[in-house]
Amino acid sequence: MGATTMSNGSGASLRPGRHAPIALVLALLVALAAGTAAGAAPPPAPNAALAAKAKALQAKLDAQHAEVERLAERLNATDDRRQRLQRSLERLKARQAAAAKELDTAQRQLDEQARATYMNGPQWLLGELVGGANPTDAMRQLPVTKAALEARAAVLAEGRGRKAEIDTVRRLLTVPIDHFIEVTLGAFFQIAQVVQPITVCLNEDTSDSYSGADFHRGVQQIDAAQAMAFVRQRRDENDQLFTDLDRTRRQQAFIVSLVNAMRHGGALSSPSELRNLLQVAQQNIAVDAAFDLAGFVDQATRLTDSSLSLYTLPIREFGRDSRGEDVNIVDVQGIRSIVHNLFTNGSPSATPDPTQSPSVPVTLDVVNATNHDGLGTSVERSLGADGLTAGTVTTADSLAETSTIAYGPGAGGAAHTLADRLELTATASDDVAPETVQLTIGTDFPAAQYMSGDTPTTTPTPITTVDATATGTQAPAPTDLTQMAGSDTPCVK
């Protein structure tokens, strides 16, 4: 049988043989499948516009989602920052409350210790500026609050300084201090502006590049700016012996000239004009809380014809303290004697009034109830300058916390005078001999004021007063007690 060749149309040949039927079936199946595929309908095409819109919407949603995520991150960061600021604000408020509590405590102590000398300055117009409940507002107010607290702390410090100054002067001079007036250079300049020109007088030409002083010898009129240099000068390029005490006498001379100008201008005799003058400088003047300014003005207007005398207390020598600072060393007993005599009889020396009958001398006994050896003797010698006769000095068997004054019959006047000076209370006692005052020194006594070693062991030298305006060989020295009368324009160094 001959071989027959069949083609599948693709170029391949099939040779019929043993497997020809199977191959034929496969060929038929392949052809049928191809025909079916060729005859099937294609799927419908998608809408292009809808597809594009869906794609754009998806992109927009993706962008919005990303923006939401970014906003969430920013909100989280803002909340973290807000919480940190809130914690910082709470810490600041806690520190502010602690500072306010400390300031309140300090002021209560100051009021208790120095109520009579606490100052009424313009700074007290500063109020408590506390931030509101709003954290933002509170943060904005914190710098202002801090400034107000610092200003109040400065005022408290000034009050303590003034109290220390008053206590030092009172203990040094052993005299009571009723009132306190502080006039700054700012107030001085403001008053000088109102009453200028002011007449002053100098004994010699003087100049000082530090203060700006440049004046000629003789009587001259100066304005407010020159007045500042006149009272501030503490050096003289023409006189190497010019001292701070000479500056003190300069200031006294200016006060005399100022009072004279006010008298001649009528301000001193007119309560309204004097009150207006004080109002000009009131922001630069501090007084104690008990000071009656209106009463002072009324009293000042009645002093238009009163004589005015200004004294400069002497020093013993110039020296230096333990820190190397320049100081003036004074004779404590001599200073106290001068001040006591000026207060009691108007003279620096203890000159009895011949019109008065001599009084019975009062004896002063001192009991030392402290652990300071020799304090009783020092106090006895110091207070002996007041005319008290030295009595006995004994040591108590035990310490006493407070100092006391007791007196016997006939010694009440001297006891109360001493009590006023020492700010104590004098009590009559049957246990004290007649015409005797007994001072018991307790641990509250200012021992340092009497144990300085300046108390002499001999009778003090009689005091000689030198004219503050003297010149040449009679010019006052630092060791001289000087007096300046207020009747005319004084000529000074």
**pLDDT digits 0-9 by tens, 407-426:** 999 888 888 888 877 878 88
Helix 224-232 vs helix 244-265: crossing angle, to nearest 10: 150
For residue 119, the 8-state DSSP code is B
- The answer to whether residues 89 and 139 touch, using CB atoms and an 8 Å cutoff, is yes
Give the model's pLDDT for residue 414.
85
Q: What is the mean pLDDT of the chain?
A: 75
Output 109-115 pairs: Cβ under 8 A, ≥24 positions apart. Answer: 110/156, 110/159, 110/160, 110/163, 113/163, 114/159, 114/162, 114/163, 114/166, 115/289
* Both structure tokens of 47: 């809408």
As a whole number of angstroms, the distance between CA 144 and CA 128 comes to: 10
Please write the tens of the pLDDT for every residue from 429-471.
999 999 999 999 998 888 877 775 544 444 455 667 888 888 8
Closest CA to 24 of 14, 33, 11: 14
Cβ burial, residue 410 (10 Å; 0-12/13-18/19+): middle
| Most confident option among 33-42, 313-322, 380-389 | 313-322
Q: Domain 181-320+479-492: which CATH class?
A: alpha beta
pLDDT at position 345, please? 75
pLDDT of 145: 58
Mean pLDDT, residues 270-294: 73
Q: What pLDDT sits at residue 386?
A: 57
Question: How far from 453 is each of 138, 226, 364, 390, 391, CA to CA, in Å?
Answer: 58, 43, 21, 19, 21
How high is the pLDDT of residue 437? Answer: 93
Enumerate the domain spans of the chain: 92-173, 181-320+479-492, 338-352+359-459
> If you count them, how many residues does the chain have?
493
118 — pLDDT class (breaks 50, 70, 90): very low
**pLDDT band for position 12 (cuts 50, 70, 90):** very low
What's the rounded Cα separation, in Å, for the pair 54 and 235? 97
Tens digits of residue pLDDT in 185-234: 777 788 888 778 888 999 889 988 888 888 999 999 998 888 888 988 88
Q: Other C-beta atoms within 10 Å of 268: how many?
A: 21
Q: What is the DSSP letter of 474?
A: G
What amino acid is encoded at 147 in this protein?
Answer: A
Taking the C-alpha atoms of residue 169 and residue 182, their distance in angstroms, rounded to an integer, is 14
94 vs 89: CA distance, rounded Å: 8
**What are residue 228's DSSP bridge partners?**
none
